[in-house]
Amino acid sequence: MSSNSTNKRVRVGVGGWTYEPWRKNFYPEGLPHSQELHYASRQLTAIEVNGTYYSSFKPPTFKKWHDETPEDFVFSLKASRFATNRKQLSAAGESVSRFVESGITELGDKLGPIVWQFMPTKAFDAEDFEAFLALLPKKVGSRALRHVMDVRHPSFMTPDYLALARKYQAATVFTDADKFPSFADLTSDFVYARLMMSDAGQKTGYAPKALDAWAEAAKRWAGGGLPEALPYVEEGGKGTKSARDVFIYFINGAKEKAPAAAGALIQRLG
């Protein structure tokens, strides 16, 4: 596989597109709020939508997002908190169905991975978590779905969790944040990274050498390998060795720097 085709497998973006500080350092002066998605989607290659975690959206909204963005753009959707913020995950079936049947297929080919985010206090319970994974549909209508687990309690750092995620072909969020667990092992045929350590003192959020390292990591992930440049990734980690799609989002930290960081990484990926 050529380097160019490998890089095309990598999507880079930010969380959402409505953030007041971005009107000073990302959006053109005077750009109407209604044009922000149109503009952002032409500077980035993906956006993670956080609003779907808090509220329900109707099919016309997803269709509008589809129509306002370029042909090869991708939206990752954060699934409803009602499915994940509960004592018994095995009872989440109705909330899971309500979300996946809410009209997300109106995004068409622009529908990217669905992120199921758990509270930092949610500990790993193998039986209950497997019951939850079994609830996640592989498709809605004729559209295949890809699921990502954003697990935030240290108890998930166990081979038992990794085995379950791999069994159900669910990816696991890879993060650079010290406060959340991050996994060397890959659990699906795609990679989903949420970078949360941007620095307000850096013009592009991350130092140039750090962005170089993330670009190299993205290329190695996309090519089927594991990154050597990042200290918390071990080459011995298990995972598929074939080419993968890679999704990298700059989230939180110095959020005002997220678009600059994403743009700098996109540049490095060519």
Residue type, 183: F
Q: In this structure, what DSSP letter does residue 179 have?
A: T
Q: What is the pLDDT of residue 26?
A: 98
Residues 6+ apart with CB under 8 A from 2: none
SS3 200: coil
Q: Which residues pair with 137 in a beta bridge?
A: none
This prediction's pTM:
0.93
Q: Which two tokens stand for residue 255?
A: 């959020």
Q: What is the pLDDT of residue 166?
A: 96
CATH code of the domain covering residue 117: 3.20.20.410
Q: What is the pLDDT of residue 253?
A: 86
Domain range for 232 is 3-269
Q: What is the pLDDT of residue 185?
A: 82
**Max Cα-Cα span within the chain:** 53
Q: What is the pLDDT of residue 225?
A: 83
Q: What is the pLDDT of residue 4?
A: 56
Q: Are strands 143-144 and 139-140 parallel, antiparallel or unpaired?
A: antiparallel
Q: What is the pLDDT of residue 55?
A: 94
Q: In this structure, what DSSP letter does residue 10 have?
A: E
What is the total count of domains within the chain?
1
Residues of the chain with pLDDT under 70: 1-7, 228-241
Q: Are strands 74-78 and 143-144 parallel, antiparallel or unpaired?
A: unpaired
